[in-house]
C-alpha cells in the first residue's frame, strides 16, 4: 500500500495563533514541533496498517516546516516553496490512499481556528457552485487520479466540512474553536494517539471509501479580497470577470482547474495591499 500524506499546521492540536505557525514568529519553533509530532503519529498508523511507501508533503506556508531528521525515517519527505501543484504536488494514481493531517476549515468559518482558504486574499472558492476549502480542493485532486482521501485531522469545523464532502472518511478533531483564534484543544499526546489509531483504521478500510468525482465541465469561482486583484487576474486567458471582486474559469480537466486556482492566487497576491 502506497500512502500520500499532506500536512498543514493550523489544524494541529495546541495551535491557535499565527505566532505559532508563521515562519519568523516567536512561537514558530513550538508550532513546528507540534506539527511533526502529529505527522509522525500518522506515519506510525500507516505503517501498522501495512503501508510500504509513505510520501509526506510539507504543505504549510513556505512548505519547509518539517525538520527532516525529526520525521519518522520510514517516510519520504517532499519540501520546497515553489511546488507546481502546492499541497498535492507528486500525488498521482500510484497511491492507494491519501491522508490529511493538521488541516483547517475554509475561509469565512467563524468557529474555525485560523480559518482561510490558502491565503487571506481569497474570501471564497466554489467548484461547480459548491463552496470549498483546502481539504475539498485537495480531495478532488486525489479523486481525479482515482485515489480516496481516507483520513483528516484538524479542528472540529474542518472535520465537519470534509464529512459532508467525503462519505465514510475517518476524522479526528484535535480542537474546538470558540472563536477564530480561540481553541479548546486536546493535549498533543492525546491528539497523536487518536491520529495514530485513526489513520490505521482508515487505511485498513481504504477500499470502502470512494474517491471524490467531479461533474464536467468544471467551473471554478473565486472571490478575492480587493477589486484591484480581480483587475489583475481578469486578463489571464480563459478567466472571466463575474463581479467587482470575483472571477470564473471553466475546464474539463481538474488539474487545469487546480493550476488556474493557484495562478489566480499567485497573481492576485502581487497587488499591493
Active site residues: 116
**Set of cell numbers at residue 267:** 497573481
68 CB contacts (<8 Å, ≥6 apart)? Answer: 77, 79
Contact 57, 7 (CB under 8 A): yes
Alpha carbon separation from 93 to 4, 19, 86, 87, 148 (Å, rounded): 11, 37, 17, 16, 10
Total length of the chain? 273
> Taking the chain, what is the end-to-end CA distance rounded to the nearest angstrom?
46
Query: How far apart, in whole angstroms, are the C-alpha atoms of residue 254 and residue 123?
Result: 21
CA neighbor of 177 nearest in space, from 160, 193, 197, 189: 160
Specify burial of residue 130 (Cβ count, 10 A radius: 0-12, 13-18, 19+).
Answer: exposed
As a whole number of Å, the CA-based R_g of the chain is 18
Of 163, 156, 159, 161, the residue nearest 186 (C-alpha): 156
> Running DSSP on this structure, what letter comes out for residue 194?
H
> What sign has the CA pseudo-torsion 101, 163, 87, 141?
positive
Amino acid at each position: 500500500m502506497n500512502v500520500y500524506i499532506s500536512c498543514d499546521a493550523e489544524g494541529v492540536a495546541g495551535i491557535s495563533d499565527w505566532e505559532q505557525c508563521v515562519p519568523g514568529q516567536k512561537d514558530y519553533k513550538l508550532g513546528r514541533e507540534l506539527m511533526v509530532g502529529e505527522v509522525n503519529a500518522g506515519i506510525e498508523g500507516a505503517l501498522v496498517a501495512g503501508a510500504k511507501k509513505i510520501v509526506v508533503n510539507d504543505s504549510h506556508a513556505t512548505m519547509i516546516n518539517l525538520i527532516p531528521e525529526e520525521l519518522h525515517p520510514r517516510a519520504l519527505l517532499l519540501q520546497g516553496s515553489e511546488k507546481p501543484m502546492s499541497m498535492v504536488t507528486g500525488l498521482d494514481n500510484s497511491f492507494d490512499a491519501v491522508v490529511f493531517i493538521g488541516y483547517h476549515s475554509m475561509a469565512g468559518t467563524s468557529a474555525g481556528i485560523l480559518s482561510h482558504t490558502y491565503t487571506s486574499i481569497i474570501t471564497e472558492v466554489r467548484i461547480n457552485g459548491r463552496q470549498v476549502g483546502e481539504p475539498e480542493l485537495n480531495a478532488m485532486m486525489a479523486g481525479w487520479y482515482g485515489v480516496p482521501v481516507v483520513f483528516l485531522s484538524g479542528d472540529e469545523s474542518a472535520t465537519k466540512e470534509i464529512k459532508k464532502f467525503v462519505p465514510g472518511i475517518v476524522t479526528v478533531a484535535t480542537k474546538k474553536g470558540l472563536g477564530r483564534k480561540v481553541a479548546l484543544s486536546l493535549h498533543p499526546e492525546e491528539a497523536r494517539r487518536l491520529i495514530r489509531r485513526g489513520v490505521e483504521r482508515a487505511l485498513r478500510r481504504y477500499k470502502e471509501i470512494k474517491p471524490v468525482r467531479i461533474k464536467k465541465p468544471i467551473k471554478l469561482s473565486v472571490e478575492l479580497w480587493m477589486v484591484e486583484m480581480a483587475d489583475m487576474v481578469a486578463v489571464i486567458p480563459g478567466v472571466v470577470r463575474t463581479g467587482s471582486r470575483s472571477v470564473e474559469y471553466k475546464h474539463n480537466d481538474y488539474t487545469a482547474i487546480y493550476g488556474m486556482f493557484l495562478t489566480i492566487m499567485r497573481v492576485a497576491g502581487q497587488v499591493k495591499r
